[in-house]
């Protein structure tokens, strides 16, 4: 794949991965992207996941047509991009590995010592001239690890963006960018919104025509859309007006209440209602939906004097990612001592700018007329108040 006359794609598609990074379902696989810049000096940009070294090295050899690379630029030491540094150096021992000080520290940690005789340690904003192309390295700490840096080629106006602007899914599968990029963002980078904002400010000063991320498609058109999405996500603003209802139900009664609320909201013209069973649906998808919409309803049974485990996991996933600027309502169920609402609300104690609905629903075992009336009131409150101005 040709990115520009001088920049070629040499990455791989992974359809064997069961869980990406040990936890994320990737039904359409994963791409580990890598690029070659052909110039007076030749640079290879990052490596790929461990099991794909031979395929990646063959891709590089095909592009090089007998030439030797001068540099291997490492922008991120997470093993999905760094696992093949050693195998690269076995084939190209004279190449210089380019990274920052943190990258080289991690390289020693992962590989058990200094693995390269030739290394070039760069600092923030330092440049490396390849001939016609000059790479500028811009440190992007915590997008997604502390050592991360992105590279900008001003000649072809290409930003090598590391994990930023990546998505789940292999490149040989056609799918919508927003959905799987959002799930990827909030799953993997979502905690570090402020650091993403910092990077976006740097990117705004550059003339970028093409974004080459380490995962997902190369972005060449409508870059304002992708940058806009990243700006919304990293500033914790809701993307859409709507209500996401997440429920945890043991015997179906809490589920019934959640579905009843969804039906009432839809009947009364709520722009979007999404509903998920936390025990059965993909947790990363649920996290993504909680960040997507401006209102959230949590419905849980009381369990072991606490809340259902999947609800606890879900709320932890939100708060550790800095969930904020939203309105939250509650449905609780308890046959003898309902206390789920108090526990769920308490879990957001340290969260910024969360408004809780005044109305809440308490079910004792099963939905009765009194509970339905409370669901009605909660629906009305949710319809009449949005937490923050959504993007659309």
Tell me the three state secondary structure of residue 187: helix
CA distance 384 to 133: 55
Nearer residue to ligand FEO within complex by CB, 15 or 67: 15
Residue of closest CB approach to ligand FEO: 78
Q: How far is the CB of 252 from ligand FEO (least distance, A)?
A: 39
Nearer residue to ligand FEO within complex by CB, 144 or 292: 144
Nearer residue to ligand FEO within complex by CB, 105 or 118: 105
CA distance 345 to 328: 9
Q: How far is the CB of 317 from ligand FEO (least distance, A)?
A: 18
CA distance 198 to 142: 10
Q: How far is the CB of 158 from ligand FEO (least distance, A)?
A: 19
DSSP string, 293-323: EEEEEEEEEEETTEE-HHHHHHHHHHHTTT-
277 membership: H or E segment, kind and range: strand 273-277
69: which residues sit within 8 A by CB, 6+ positions away?
Answer: 36, 42, 43, 44, 60, 92, 95
CA distance 260 to 268: 12
Q: Are 244 and 295 in contact (CB under 8 A)?
A: yes
Q: How far is the CB of 31 from ligand FEO (least distance, A)?
A: 10
Nearer residue to ligand FEO within complex by CB, 81 or 229: 81
Q: Are 305 and 338 in contact (CB under 8 A)?
A: no
Nearer residue to ligand FEO within complex by CB, 20 or 348: 20
Q: How far is the CB of 75 from ligand FEO (least distance, A)?
A: 10
Nearer residue to ligand FEO within complex by CB, 184 or 314: 184
Residue with tokens 């076995």: 90
CA distance 348 to 242: 20
Nearer residue to ligand FEO within complex by CB, 133 or 215: 215
Q: How far is the CB of 21 from ligand FEO (least distance, A)?
A: 7
Q: How far is the CB of 27 from ligand FEO (least distance, A)?
A: 18
Nearer residue to ligand FEO within complex by CB, 139 or 330: 139
Decide the pairing of beta strands 240-248 and 293-303: parallel
CA distance 388 to 292: 12
Q: Which residues bind ligand FEO (CB under 6 A)?
A: 76, 78, 80-81, 144-145, 163, 214-215
In sequence order, what are the beta bridge partners of 215?
A: none
Q: How many CB atoms lie within 10 A of CB 342?
A: 12
Nearer residue to ligand FEO within complex by CB, 78 or 288: 78
Q: How far is the CB of 103 from ligand FEO (least distance, A)?
A: 13
Q: Are 326 and 213 in contact (CB under 8 A)?
A: no
Q: How far is the CB of 80 from ligand FEO (least distance, A)?
A: 5
């Amino acid at each position: 794949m040709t990115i520009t006359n001088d920049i070629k794609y040499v990455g791989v598609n992974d359809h064997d991965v069961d869980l990406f990074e040990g936890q994320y379902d990737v039904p359409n696989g994963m791409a580990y992207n890598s690029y070659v810049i052909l110039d007076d000096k030749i640079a290879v940009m990052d490596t790929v996941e461990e099991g794909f070294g031979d395929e990646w090295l063959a891709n590089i050899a095909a592009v090089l047509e007998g030439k030797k690379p001068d540099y291997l630029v490492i922008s991120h030491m997470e093993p999905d991009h760094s696992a093949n540094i050693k195998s690269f150096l076995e084939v190209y021992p004279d190449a210089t590995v380019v990274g920052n000080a943190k990258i080289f520290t991690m390289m020693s940690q992962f590989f058990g010592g200094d693995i390269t005789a030739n290394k070039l340690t760069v600092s923030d904003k330092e440049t490396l001239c390849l001939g016609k192309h000059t790479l500028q390295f811009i440190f992007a700490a915590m997008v997604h690890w502390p050592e991360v840096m992105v590279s900008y080629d001003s000649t072809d106006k290409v930003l090598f963006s590391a994990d930023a602007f990546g998505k789940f899914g292999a490149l040989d599968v056609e799918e919508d960018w927003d959905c799987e990029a959002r799930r990827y963002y909030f799953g993997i980078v979502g905690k570090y919104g402020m650091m993403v904002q910092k990077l976006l400010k740097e990117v705004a000063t550059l003339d970028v025509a093409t974004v080459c991320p380490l995962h997902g498609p190369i972005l060449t058109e409508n870059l304002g859309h992708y940058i806009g999405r990243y700006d919304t996500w990293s500033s914790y603003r809701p993307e859409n007006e709507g209500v996401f209802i997440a429920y945890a139900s043991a015997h179906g009664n809490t589920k019934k209440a959640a579905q009843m609320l969804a039906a009432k909201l839809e009947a009364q013209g709520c722009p979007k209602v999404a509903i998920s069973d936390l025990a059965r649906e993909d947790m990363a998808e649920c996290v993504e939906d909680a960040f997507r919409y401006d209102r959230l309803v949590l419905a849980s049974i009381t369990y072991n004097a606490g809340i259902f485990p999947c609800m606890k996991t879900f709320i932890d996933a939100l708060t550790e990612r800095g969930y904020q600027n939203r309105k939250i309502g509650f449905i609780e169920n308890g046959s003898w001592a309902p206390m789920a609402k108090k526990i769920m609300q308490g879990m957001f104690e340290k969260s910024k700018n969360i408004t809780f609905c005044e109305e809440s629903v308490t079910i004792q075992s099963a939905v009765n007329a009194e509970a339905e009336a409370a669901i009605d009131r909660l629906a009305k409150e949710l319809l009449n108040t949005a937490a923050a101005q959504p993007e659309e």
